[in-house]
Each structure stands twice: as structure tokens, then as C-alpha cells.
Amino acid sequence: MDTIVYGFADSPFGSIIVARNHEGVCDLQFLGFDRHRVIHELGTRWGIYTPTTQNDDMAQQVERLLFESALSLPNPISTAIPLCPKGTAFQLQVWGALRDIPFGTTVTYQDIADRLGRPKAVRSVATAIGENPIAVLIPCHRVIRKDGTLGGYHWGENIKQQLLDWEKREREALTERK
DNA sequence: GAGTGCGTATAAG
DNA sequence: CTTATACGCACTC
């Protein structure tokens, strides 16, 4: 059986839990908004009898790659860390589309639906986005509503806004440096 | 088959 | 600003 290694780390946006199996990171969630819900989610997604090992160093390495840097543009993250999210075919398709959104930019839920060739399935697409198990690495925070308002975020709209502000700052900092 | 959801559009209070 | 109605579709029970 496929054991899961998980660990905790502190990010600039609150503590996170990172989990990975032999193929790659399978979960990355913020714990600040609702720690109990997150732990429960992990249990139901992977099964409470799945063998696990704790390794905070692993989590901290991922955290550093994600937040400590100037490695933001043009998004080397997308290929540096292998991912292994668990979901339906439709969800995996949606999450795949999210990975194409460049650092520091935003798109709308409608844009994603259009890109998938399902313009009328916005609602379903939005639901799938809301079920993203790998925060930041699968940048669901870059998807906002068509009217310009933020839209929902599984880990709290505060963090969504903070992530977008951070990406914007990083991006501007890199632009001015030339 | 009924109920639900990180949306969108429009109408109305 | 907030609630209400409708559309549409993947998912869960």
C-alpha cells in the first residue's frame, strides 16, 4: 500500500499541512481557517487506515520553494514539484487548467469553463475549483468572479486576497528590477 | 430522482 | 448593499 508522508510548516499566510505519496504532493492545505475540517478532509479522502509518517522537514522544504522567493516568475513551481491530487476525471481536468494561470495574474470562473470547452458548466467548474486539495501549487486563488469580486475560497477569503496581494507585490518588485 | 454548490444575470426591495 | 428566480451541470446520497 501507498503510504503518505505528511508534515506541518509555517507559511507567511499561516500554518500549513503538506502531504505526499510516492508520486508527488497530494495535499496542501492552510490550517488557520478551520483546522479540524482540514484534518477530517484528509481522513475521508485518503482513508483513516492509510499508513502515514510525519516529516516536517519535507513540509518545510515545500513551503520554502513556494513562498521564499524570487522564484515567482514565470512560475517554475509548476514543474519543480510533482503533484498527485485525487479527484474525478472532471476535477482533474479543471485543476489541470488552473496550473496554466501565470503567477500574479487572475482569470474568472467563466474563463476556466470556456477554456475547457464547457461554457455552460461554470457552476460545476466553480465547485470543482472549490474542491482543490492542493492550495497554491494548484492556484485556485487566481480565479475570481466575472464582476471583479473575489469569489469564494476554501481556506478563507482573507487568505485568498493576501495571496493575490503578495503575488502582485512580487511581480511588481521583479518588474522594477530591470 | 432530489438536493447542493468558491457562478452569472437580472429584477426587486 | 441584500434577497429572489432562473439557468446549468457535476456530484453525492
- The two beta strands, A14-20 and A25-30, are antiparallel
CB proximity list for A176: less than 8 A, separation 6 or greater: none
Res A68: pLDDT: 78
Annotated active-site residue A140? The verdict is yes
pLDDT tens sequence across A119-148 = 999 999 999 999 999 999 999 999 999 999
Res A69: pLDDT: 63
Residues facing A107 on adjacent strands: A143
* Strand B interface, protein residues by Cβ within 7 Å: A 108-110, 122-124, 126-127, 129-132, 140, 143, 145-147, 151-154
SS3 A108: strand
Res A31: pLDDT: 97
Q: Supply the Cα-derived Rg of chain A in whole angstroms.
A: 16
* Alpha carbon distance A117, A18 (integer Å): 32
pLDDT tens sequence across A41-50 = 999 999 989 9
| Active-site entry in A16, A140, A143, A164 | A140
* Strand C interface, protein residues by Cβ within 7 Å: A 88-91, 118, 120-121, 123-124, 127-128
Closest nucleotide to A44, Cα to C1': C12
pLDDT tens sequence across A50-97 = 999 999 999 999 999 888 765 554 555 556 789 999 999 999 999 999
How far does the CA of A172 sit from the C1' of B3, in Å? 45
How far does the CA of A140 sit from the C1' of B4, in Å? 21
Does residue A8 contact residue A59 with C-beta atoms inside 8 Å?
Answer: yes
Q: What is the DSSP letter of A3?
A: -
How far does the CA of A62 sit from the C1' of B5, in Å? 31
pLDDT tens sequence across A142-177 = 999 999 999 999 999 999 999 999 999 988 887 765
CB proximity list for A157: less than 8 A, separation 6 or greater: A150
